């Protein structure tokens, strides 16, 4: 791999790792942060999407419905995850979020009866053992906040897997940017409706909060641009592997910027989860059946 590609991968991972920090720094509710994350990201994508505007007219009614439902699950994903970050540590929340490819495989097995190898089963067992260790470390009979945050992080994983399965399996031959723009917009609108129903404050936020909302949209969008640009010279498997660095980067940033620390069980569980996900991705890449 070229040094320039490695550098861009590192930049992308750092950009994504900052997302959790911005959520932690914000005093707004999780639903408000999620809403502006989606709506601002949609606005940022308009110049790119404009080039492919003809694709909107080629979508069937069924495809539009799939995109709307995908947007709903994306809204749930960010709502659950951002609320998780309000309750538990960055390390616990982002490590559990790394289970996404494994949960996607389990869903594919249950719904589409896709074949599962022994290596994959072992990696799943390893990863979920790590989650149990993290959750045990965060469990307390007197304060259930951190444990509840872990549950919400896992629910956010389930929601984002539903988002991918509904959207990407239903809508074919649609440019990635157009797909993202549509589902981001619908996700933002769903969150707007939720905030109106729950009577959340929509506009009266200080400049600091608006800056955080904007940064939360910009940094992950930069990462996605980099990942898409690198697909011509870096395999998708390599990009997937690099995503495992997100919990590491986010935890380090949380330590430096938020003074969050890791106890023994969190650290042990986190390492076990990442090892399990790494072996899972490696097994998927090799497509080896043991």
For the segment 187-215, the average pLDDT, to the nearest whole number, is 95
Residue predicted with more confidence, 226 or 151? 151
The DSSP-derived string for 43-78 is HHHHHHHGGGGGGGGG--HHHHHHHHHHHHHHHHHH
Closest CA to 184 of 81, 49, 85: 49
- Which tens digits make up the pLDDT trace of 157-168? 999 889 888 876
d(CA 219, CA 17): 9
CA 123 vs CA 98, 119, 127: distances in Å: 13, 6, 6
Assign 211 to helix, strand or coil.
helix
How confident is residue 142, by pLDDT bands cut at 50, 70 and 90? Answer: low
How confident is residue 143, by pLDDT bands cut at 50, 70 and 90? Answer: low
How confident is residue 290, by pLDDT bands cut at 50, 70 and 90? Answer: very low
Rg value, the chain, Cα: 19
How confident is residue 49, by pLDDT bands cut at 50, 70 and 90? Answer: very high
Q: Is 47 exposed, middle or buried (0-12, 13-18, 19+ CB in 10 A)?
A: exposed
Assign 25 to helix, strand or coil.
helix
d(CA 101, CA 156): 13
Assign 243 to helix, strand or coil.
coil
Q: Per-residue pLDDT for 263 more than 70?
A: yes
How confident is residue 289, by pLDDT bands cut at 50, 70 and 90? Answer: very low
Q: Per-residue pLDDT for 287 more than 60?
A: no
- Domain segments of the chain as ranges: 3-113+144-250
Q: Per-residue pLDDT for 241 more than 80?
A: no
Residue 64's Cβ-side half-sphere holds a number of Cα atoms within 13 Å equal to 7
> Both tokens of residue 105?
């495989």
For the segment 180-194, the average pLDDT, to the nearest whole number, is 94
The full length of the chain comes to: 290
The pTM (predicted TM-score) of the whole model is: 0.86
For the segment 18-32, the average pLDDT, to the nearest whole number, is 94
Whether 97 and 27 have beta carbons less than 8 Å apart is answered as: no
Helix axes 145-170, 118-138, angle to 10 degrees: 150
How confident is residue 25, by pLDDT bands cut at 50, 70 and 90? Answer: very high
**Which residues have CB under 8 Å from 38's CB, separation 6+?**
74, 75, 78, 184, 185, 187, 188, 191, 217
- Which tens digits make up the pLDDT trace of 112-131? 777 777 877 888 888 888 88
Whether 135 and 145 have beta carbons less than 8 Å apart is answered as: no
d(CA 231, CA 226): 9
If one counts every other C-beta atom within 10 angstroms of the C-beta of residue 119, the result is 17
């Amino acid at each position: 791999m070229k040094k320039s590609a490695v550098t861009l991968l590192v930049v992308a991972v750092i950009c994504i790792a900052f997302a959790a920090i911005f959520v932690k720094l914000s005093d707004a509710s999780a639903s408000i942060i999620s809403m502006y994350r989606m709506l601002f990201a949609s606005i940022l994508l308009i110049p790119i999407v404009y080039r492919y505007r003809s694709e909107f007219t080629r979508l069937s009614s069924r495809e539009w419905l799939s995109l709307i439902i995908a947007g709903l699950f994306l809204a749930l994903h960010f709502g659950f995850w951002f609320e998780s970050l309000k309750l538990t540590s960055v390390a616990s929340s982002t490590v559990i979020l790394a289970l996404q490819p494994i949960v996607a495989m389990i869903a594919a097995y249950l719904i589409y009866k896709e074949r599962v190898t022994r290596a994959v089963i072992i990696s799943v067992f390893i990863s979920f053992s790590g989650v149990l260790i993290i959750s045990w470390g965060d469990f307390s009979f007197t304060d259930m906040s951190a444990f509840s945050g872990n549950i919400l992080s896992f629910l956010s994983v389930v929601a984002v897997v539903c988002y991918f399965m509904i959207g990407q399996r239903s809508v074919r031959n649609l440019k990635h940017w157009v797909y993202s723009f549509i589902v981001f917009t619908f996700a933002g609108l769903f969150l707007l409706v939720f905030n109106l129903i729950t009577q959340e404050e929509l506009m009266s936020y200080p400049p600091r909060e608006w800056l955080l909302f904007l940064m939360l949209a910009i940094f992950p969008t930069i990462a996605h641009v980099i990942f898409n640009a690198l697909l011509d010279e870096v395999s998708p498997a390599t990009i997937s592997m690099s995503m495992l660095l997100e919990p590491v980067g986010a935890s380090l940033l949380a330590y430096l910027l938020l003074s969050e620390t890791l106890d023994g069980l969190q650290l042990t569980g986190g390492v076990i989860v990442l090892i399990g996900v790494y072996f899972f991705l490696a097994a998927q890449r090799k497509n080896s059946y043991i």
